[in-house]
Amino acid sequence: MQSENYRGYAVWGHAIREQHDILEHERYAASGTVTKSGKFVEASGVLGVFQSEEEAQECGLSWARAWVDNHT
């Protein structure tokens, strides 16, 4: 999970590990969360599936920043 402060909000990028079979490569589902003053504001659903944890987290952060930009 990655977080940063963005325009007065805390935005979070999440990577949820998926592995359906032991022989498959790990994949990561991306999601984002927005909080303000420690309180939940908004969360995405699954934004996509990525090959790396970092890509998934960045996708979630990007979604959260866009949400803030469109709602402030």
Domain extent for 54: 2-71
Domain count, the chain: 1
- The tens-digit pLDDT sequence of the chain (72 residues) is 999 999 999 999 999 998 766 666 789 999 999 999 999 999 999 999 999 999 999 999 999 999 999 998
Tokens representing 25 are: 């490569």
Q: How far apart are CA 71 and CA 58, in angstroms?
A: 20
Q: How far apart are CA 3 and CA 62, in angstroms?
A: 11
